[in-house]
Amino acid sequence: MPNYISKLRFLQTLDASRSFCISQTIDLRKLTSLRHVIGKFVGKLLIGDTVNLQTLRSISSDSLSKLKHELLINLRDLEIYDQFMSVKRRVPVSWASLTKLRNLRVLKLEANDIYLSLESEEAVRSMDVISPSLESVTFVGINLKEDPMPFLQKMPRLEDLMLQDCDYSGEKMSISEQGFGRLRKLQLFMERLDELQIEEEAMPNLIQLRLSSILRLQTKLIIPKRLRACMSYETPERLRACMNYET
């Protein structure tokens, strides 16, 4: 990326999505008018006054940890991307920090295999409501040490949830009767899950439940009859084709 980018003082949109990965340090601290920053910034991404920033896709967990989350008051779309070349600078994602993003609507956490681990601090887990503005959450390649459903179903506006290629060390995922009141799409594309249990009154607005074909063979499914009509199973080939099309 050319260095003169840092001199475009009134730049509002920086779209480097055509570049595969940007490993160099990108200094945007003087660009106080930025609203949308898009690209795979696996190197250091330096951002100054963030009050106008609405879109940040995607940033390493290390770079994100150095930003003042309380100043990202208008951020609506956030993607955190870590891959092998940035594993030395990997830091866990802090949910306590993410709760400071009051207007965040779309969140995507993507890692290469298990190089990004997910933390859910005790103080956050004790909250009745978490991230009240979030509408879409996607985890790709995340290391889940505990069942994320009790945590995620506390997001009152969540409508779209996807877990893809996540490494879950537990045996069971469970969604309670009061869980996911507004959820419309649930997509679980995981290689291993012993049991998935959905209570009878859970997810009253669900219209799509997509599971990987592997889960169909190895997972014990305890699912209300009303939800079986919206279930579908995706093969790895079909899933990759769908993801490429959506991208």
Full pLDDT tens readout for the chain, 247 residues:
777 888 898 999 999 988 778 888 888 999 989 999 999 888 888 888 888 999 999 888 888 888 888 889 999 999 998 765 555 556 677 787 888 898 999 999 988 654 445 556 676 777 788 889 999 999 998 878 888 898 899 999 999 999 998 888 788 999 999 899 999 999 999 878 889 999 999 999 999 999 988 787 778 999 999 998 899 988 755 655 555 544 4
For the whole model, what pTM was predicted? 0.88
Instruction: Give how far Cα 147 sits from Cα of 25, 118, 175, Å.
Output: 36, 11, 10
Q: Is 112 helix (H, G, I), strand (E, B) or coil?
A: coil
Alpha-carbon span 119 to 26, nearest angstrom: 27
- DSSP for 205-236 reads T--EEEEEHHHHHH-EEE--HHHHTTEEEE-H
Return the DSSP state at 22: B
| DSSP reduced 3-state for 7 | helix
